[in-house]
Structure 1
Amino acid sequence: MAIKPSKGFIYLLIVAVFVFGVPSEAHAEPSYAKYGRAAMQETANRYPDANIIDYKYEGHFETSGARNEERFRLWLRGSGGEFGVRVHVYVAADTGQVRNVELEEIAR
């Protein structure tokens, strides 16, 4: 004689599959995340004595047919005080590979 699962058990099992088994967009990494990591790494290399205390993605900009720009603004705190850095990450339009990273201080 087989054991029949109750309707409540089946309902809980279905809910559990949807809650735990279906990836949520809230947990998905944003499309610009790898470029943000490149921006933070380049900034840390340029300003080794400063700490990055804030980060903002300013957007995606099409600069030419061959490359695009992902722009970030980082706020740093160092021994001389706080200052901002705008980071331009230039990316190959066809492959998405980082081609160049430029930094400019925007406030001190």
Structure 2
Amino acid sequence: MKHLSFTKIVVTLFVVVLLFSAGLDVYGQHNNIDYKQWSRIAISTVKKEYPAAQLTDYKYVGRAEVTAEEAKDIFNIVVKEGNESFNVKAEVFFNPKDGKLITVQLERVAS
């Protein structure tokens, strides 16, 4: 009986350490360059493109590696211009090694 309890404790500790390590790895990668700074750039670029519009919602879609020197964060932004609402996909390209902005691309997409 003691052997079974010891085994359960060891397995439980192993699983906890494994989950903790995986969480740190994902957290570290995701926050290497914080997506929030790119969201501000995406939003300000959409505001410049549609100055008379209201931005009613936005969603961080995720990050994609383009090359070793280029990554992009993708955002969906809901724009209301007059009586019309539509979505804009904003892709913010940056260098993941030094955190410098490369470019921002906007694409109006069907709602």
Q: Is TM (by shorter chain) over 0.5? A: yes
1:106, distance to aligned residue in structure 2 (A): 0.6
Identity %: 27
Question: How far apart, in 2, do the equivalents of 1:47 and 1:69 lie?
Answer: 22
**1:38 and 2:41 equivalent?**
yes
Question: How far apart, in 1, do the equivalents of 2:83 and 2:102 lie?
Answer: 31
Superposed CA RMSD: 1.7
Residue number among 93, 98, 103 corresponding to 1:95 in the alignment:
98
1:31, distance to aligned residue in structure 2 (A): 2.1
| TM-score (normalizing by structure 2) | 0.68
Q: Which residue of 2 aligns with 1:104?
A: 107
Mark the structure with the bigger radius of gyration: 1
Structure with greater proportional helix content: 2
- Residue type at the aligned position of 2:69: A
Question: How far apart, in 1, do the equivalents of 2:90 and 2:37 lie?
Answer: 14
1:80, distance to aligned residue in structure 2 (A): 4.7
**1:52 and 2:52 equivalent?**
no
Question: How far apart, in 2, do the equivalents of 1:56 and 1:97 lie?
Answer: 22
